Amino acid sequence: MRSQRRLLLHNMQSKTTKLRLVNQPGEYLKRRRRSLRRNITDGEYALWYWLRNNELGYKFRRQVNIGSFIVDFYCHKLKLIIEVDGGIHNDQIEYDTRRENWLKLQEYNIIRVNNEECIHLADKALKIIKTKIEELTKDR
């Protein structure tokens, strides 16, 4: 009886451990997200100032992984992704295209905003985001 109980407990623990390991993001993605959060660009910082306190009426999270990709800002309720494009995106056009296509297949809505717009023309960037939010909430 005791050995059966031990075996049952062991099986339950190993199953929960396996489930936990499957649901957790890879260690690489976790370290990469931390690094991106610490080394925020000026454009991301300027935009995060408006997004972090529900200024637009929705909660946004920063540097979230979706699948094997990390996105700059994400609103779960609207399935809205905001990408701040800096100079590095000019060098990785093919990667960005493949990534964006995969995210769109998963039914995510994506907005791309230029890094310089976020810094110098924050009103323009916020207007683009507000317009997209209105478009997404109009159907509800």
99 neighbors 69 (Cβ within 8 angstroms): yes
pLDDT at site 94:
86
What are the distances in angstroms from CA 65 to CA 13, 15, 27, 93, 117?
27, 25, 12, 19, 24
How would you label 97-123 residue by residue, b for 16+ Cβ within 10 Å and e otherwise? eebbeebeeeebbebebbbebbbeebe
40-138 homologous superfamily: VSR Endonuclease (3.40.960.10)
What are the structural domain ranges in the chain? 1-39, 40-138
For the stretch 13-72, pLDDT in tens is 554 444 444 445 578 778 877 877 777 888 888 899 889 888 889 999 999 989 888 899
For the stretch 78-113, pLDDT in tens is 999 999 987 665 667 888 889 899 999 999 999 999
pLDDT at site 35:
76
pLDDT at site 22:
46
- What is the value of pTM for the model shown? 0.75
